Structure 1
Amino acid sequence: MMLADPSKKYRRMYQRVDLPDRQWPNKEINKAPIWMSTDLRDGNQAIFEPMNPKQKFKMFQMLVKIGFKHIEIGFPSASQVDFDFTRKLIEEGHIPDDVYIEVLVQARDHLIQRTFEALQGAKRAIVHIYNANSPTFRKKVLNVDAAGARQLAINAAEKVREYAAEQPETDWIFQYSPECFSATELDVSREVCDAVTEIWQASPSRKVILNLPATVEVSGPHIYADQIEWMHRNLARRDGIIISVHCHNDRGCGIAASELAIMAGADRVEGCVFGNGERTGNVDIAAMALNMYTQGVAPELDFSNINEIIATVEECTGLPVHPRHPYAGDLVFTAFSGSHQDAIKKGFEFQKDEEIWDMPYLPIDPRDLGRDYDAVIRVNSQSGKGGIAYLLESNYNVVLPRRLQIEFSQTVQQHTDEQGTEVSAQDIWTLFQDTYVAAKDNHYSARNYRLSDENGNQVIELELEINGESQHLRGEGNGPISAILNALQLPIDVLNYEERGISAGARAKALALIELQVQGTGKSAFGAGVHDNIVTSSIEAIIASINRLIEQGILSTEQVVAAAV
């Protein structure tokens, strides 16, 4: 089955805008808009089971904490739950003095009356009326022409003004939405908006909100921006109007449309914290606000504890936040790719506190959102040496030499290929110990040693078990390492030796890393030792390296010349 011929089934549902001198492409967003959360209304209408009063109240408290000053709390004329919730917030004094609660109501007289009953006693409130003006709705739903649709809005605006006058103690803001604005002729939208703002006497001291929604996203965001700029230029009483946008995400462009709308003259953005909302969702305010944050613009919303916000939203809505959600997803700061991991690891080596954030693949510092760096790099079969090295260093303070990074990454790669799953930092550390530390017991193993000074040299007396037989060795050198190697009397050279303190559990330990090469072969092996005592860890690292040389067939037990005491 193939898709139908689109030219025979679909057409553009929007009006092209004649705006050759459009200004929005040259604008930048340099301040946050007024944010309005629709989580408790549009978002609540879009879930399998609408929130109960306890969940709605918890969500409201979260929205206040984030910093929303306009919060749409419901549709009290259409739902007793919403009516009761509105009364609870007002009567119990849960609304901060600087927060406007907003309620939605259709442009119908009896519903407007019921809405004002719900708002009695509110200190501040926004009454939001709406009706559709698009050709599709006029013809197929309302059975009116453009003038008839406009008259519906006029009647409702007059009722809102009338009922608000009966409650002068409340600080009222009136809001009107020409529903389906983006699919309506611009002249029709302007005429109805001008009629409403005239009734409400919009002025700089008594501003009216005109919400111009992409109720259904029917065009690219550039078309929507043109529509907003046209309205911004042509509305009457513009200085008394707050232009608001409410973008749905039918084409997946809700954030882009909202951002371009701000550039085109919009003052306010409606949406849900994580983009919940009817059908494909409202605009995602967290992503949009943090987009601004990463450009150096204060979003005036606080997402510094994003995990707590996620937990609240998921609990109240029953909807999970996608693991790849911008900024909030569990995996959004996580790199599995080897090249990404290598770049991030190197970036952290350069990034200094208090400097401008400039990191490969990480547009925002996870710590700004209340997250740490533990999950930035995770390892699976797609990962490389950089990620493995980063996890060992950040979790255990183990810094691997480059050649050891390359070698050990192959061991981890084989493990992940066989298991087919992600491996944790602890899994990698365990695999490292199994490969490079546990080898100390495979062929040779150290039982006891005694280290002393004689004539300025280090002398070691060492008891080894070699293939089940005990031997006593003695050697001296200018340090413990040379003394041990002289005691062993093997044809080996030290290519690399490092020691450092590590955190491998509750107690700090000493890690010794050594690379020994068999003379005349050009072949080498790494070994590691972990112990409370650095000399002990060095002995164990040397023995582990020798045992690995034996296992790889580079060295044989017959080559041992022991100096028995």
Structure 2
Amino acid sequence: MSDKVYIFDTTLRDGEQSPGATMNISEKINMARQLEKLGVDIIEAGFPAASNGDFEAVKTIAQSVDNIQVAGLSRAVLSDIDRAWEAVRYAKNPRIHTFIATSDIHMKHKFNKEPDEILEMARKAVRHAASLTPNVEFSAEDASRSRWDFLVSVVEAVIDEGATTINIPDTVGYAQPGEFGELIRYLIKNVSNSSKAIFSVHCHNDLGLGVANTLEAIKAGARQAEVTLCGIGERAGNAALEEVVMALHTRKDYYDIDTSVHTEQLFPSCRRLSSTIGQPLSPYKAIVGANAFAHESGIHQDGMIKNRQTYEIMTPESIGKKGTSIVIGKHSGRNALGTKLKEMGYDLNDEQIADVFDAVKSLADKKEDIYDEDVEALVLEVAYRIHDLFKVKDLSVFSGTSGVPPHAAVILQDFRNDESNPVEIKDVGFGEGPINAVFSTINSLVGIEPELGLYSVNAVTGGADAQGAVTVHISENGLKSIGRGSDEDIIVASAKAYINAINRLERIKQEKKNA
């Protein structure tokens, strides 16, 4: 047996069949090129007989990539096989992938045919495909629920007819790792001509075992894994490419198996797919999720600071991510906060760190996410005792359909010259809407015009009288700040959040100047 597993990516075929993952031809070509950059061995580009659009996509992909095999899927129907060949023949290394079901339940209820008839259909299909290309793959659909002795007969027959890759799918995610591995061993041992073909597996994830079954099959002798980026696919999806590859990579001591995948392209590839199909990566997704290399627990953070191998079995750089994230939150430890503050450029003594630590804990009880800007603001407020420069005292806003532009009257308290005796400053300004009018007026009063990067509103509580929580992100000359405010009136909450962000921005500017 080879010490290499071929990675057969079916993101563009099985993956695209999942709800919400449809791609146009241009998107498929871009993904195919990224998969080539990733280093997969075979791309299953589509099902050419399914539609003219699928045919054109497979044909165009075959013409667009160079160093990768391109497969087209077909039923064990001669016209399907011809259509697949017409699409993939333009590839430098084309493959026809034909399939037919071999389980009793499929043969009876889907085909209404006897096993001998199915066997003959498989023979004819592979014989015809092999007359077009020497690169033929045969799949026994629903193999994990098929009779093992019948599978042996079918696999022997199609290898005799010219199949060079034999795929044993767990089509409905029914198999358990131990029995699936045993099935692969049984076939390799009992199929008389098994040495003439590479055995492959295609495992669905209905019971959450797609990756486990794939790895067990590899351990049993399978040398091709059919996978998708992020595990997308029909129903609960497929075995995830990044999980299979990194399991083999991280536990080479156990599997002693290589792949051709460039692991540092895993995260960029998954991120590209997420952007293309408009489905965000779950933060808890293995390997590529936002939390995969993030640590909030104080015990974990302390271990990571001392030696990252205490809690990370692979490096984020190995999959193409920038680095580990030490997340500051209510579970964080003081040591982690001190390290974080040093990374941010603050050299605080133990007493100051303790004050900031208590403030972080208090803030974490009130809000879900704590950003670096939050920590920085707490340093300035608690460690350096810098107070707010501005507060909202009053505001009124006009907006309607009368033709008069939206405008806002804002009164601020200005503490810049005297923290105990603020000066009232007021102005009226216009805007494209009521919020824009408020922000423009505040800019005029404080004398800066930061760039607004994000504005979001969320309900703090339910019901018609829910309090609104507003978050704004602003920046000026490369300095960033986050502000938050809450009120039953969204416009008032927006003004509070904007002033909060400006106060933080001004503190950052003052601290940078002092430093």
TM over 0.5, yes or no? Answer: yes
* 1:94 and 2:64 matched: yes
Deviation at 1:405, TM superposition (A): 4.5
State whether residues 392 and 425 of structure 1, in contact with CA within 8 Å, keep that contact through their aligned partners in structure 2.
Answer: no
Runs ≥4 residues deviating over 6 A: 530-533
Q: What are the equivalent positions in structure 2 for 1:39-438 lying under 5 Å apart?
A: 39-48=11-20, 50-90=22-62, 93-96=63-66, 98-162=67-131, 164=132, 172-200=134-162, 208-296=164-252, 298-347=258-307, 359-373=309-323, 376-396=325-345, 398=347, 401=350, 405-406=353-354, 408-417=356-365, 419-438=366-385
Q: Distance in 2 between the 1:320 and 1:439 partners?
A: 39
User: Per the alignment, in what secondary structure is the counterpart of residue 77 of structure 1?
Assistant: helix
Deviation track 1:210-260 (CA, whole Å, cap 9, x = no partner) reads: 000100121321111111111111112122110000000111011111111
For residues 317 and 51 of structure 2, the distance between their equivalents in structure 1, rounded to whole angstroms, comes to 41
8 Å contact 1:274–1:285 — kept in the other structure? yes
Given that residues 56 and 316 in structure 1 are in contact (C-alpha distance below 8 angstroms), is that contact kept between their aligned partners in structure 2? no
Map 1:466-545 to 2 at 5 A: none
Contact 2:23 2:277 in 1 (8 A): yes
CA distance in 2, matches of 1:369, 1:236: 40
Amino acid at match of 2:104: P
Distance in 1 between residues matched to 2:233 and 2:134, nearest whole Å? 26
Mark the CA change 1:506 to 1:122 in structure 2 (over 3 Å): closer, same or farther. Answer: closer
Give the AA of the match of 2:273. V
Question: What is the CA-CA distance between 1:87 and the residue it aligns to?
Answer: 2.7
Secondary structure, counterpart of 1:41 in structure 2: coil
The 1:400/1:128 distance shift into structure 2, 3 A limit, reads farther
Give the letter for the 1:66 counterpart.
L
Alpha-carbon distance change, 199 to 244 in structure 1, aligned in 2, over 3 angstroms: same
Query: Structure 1 residues 397, 314: CA separation in 2 closer, same or farther (over 3 Å shift)?
Result: same
| RMSD (Å), alpha carbons | 2.9
Distance 1:345 1:326 in 2: 22
C-alpha contact 1:47 1:317 (8 A) present in aligned 2: no
Q: How high is the sequence identity, in percent, across the aligned residues?
A: 25
From the superposition, tell whether residues 129 and 532 of structure 1 become closer, same or farther in structure 2 (CA, over 3 Å): closer
TM-superposed deviation, 1:532: 8.9
- Alpha-carbon distance between aligned partners in 2 of 1:307 and 1:415, rounded to the nearest angstrom: 32
1:97-132 Cα offsets, whole Å, 9 max, x none, are: x32110110011222222223234443211111111
Q: Distance in 2 between matches of 1:431 and 1:30?
A: 58
Q: Distance in 2 between matches of 1:51 and 1:314?
A: 12
Give the Cα–Cα distance (whole angstroms) in 2 for the partners of residues 383 and 72 of structure 1: 45
Cα 1:156/1:428, change in 2 over 3 Å = same
Mapped to 2, the partners of 1:49 and 1:415 lie a distance apart of 39
Please give the per-residue CA displacement for 1:406-425, whole angstroms capped at 9, x wherever unaligned.
554222211221x2222222
Give the greater-gyration-radius structure (CA): 1
Instruction: Indicate the SS of the match to 1:213.
Output: strand
Q: State the Cα distance separating 1:43 from its structure 2 match.
A: 0.6
Report the number of matched residues. 396
CA distance in 2, matches of 1:30, 1:408: 57
Residues 1:62 and 1:147: Cα distance change in structure 2 (over 3 Å) = same
With over 3 angstroms needed to count, the CA separation of the structure-2 counterparts of 1:127 and 1:361, relative to structure 1, is same
Cα deviation code 1:447-487 (max 9, x no counterpart):
xxxxxxxxxxxxxxxxxxxx99xxxxxxxxxxxxxxxxxxx
- SS of 1:246's partner is strand
Give the number of the structure with larger relative contact order, counting CA–CA contacts within 8 Å between residues 6 or more apart: 1
Match of 2:408 in 1: none
Give the deviation of 1:64 after TM superposition: 0.6
Q: CA separation in 2, counterparts of 1:86 and 1:80?
A: 10
Give the Å deviation of 1:400: 5.0
* Shift in Å, 1:263: 0.7
Contact 2:27/2:276 (8 A) holds in 1: yes
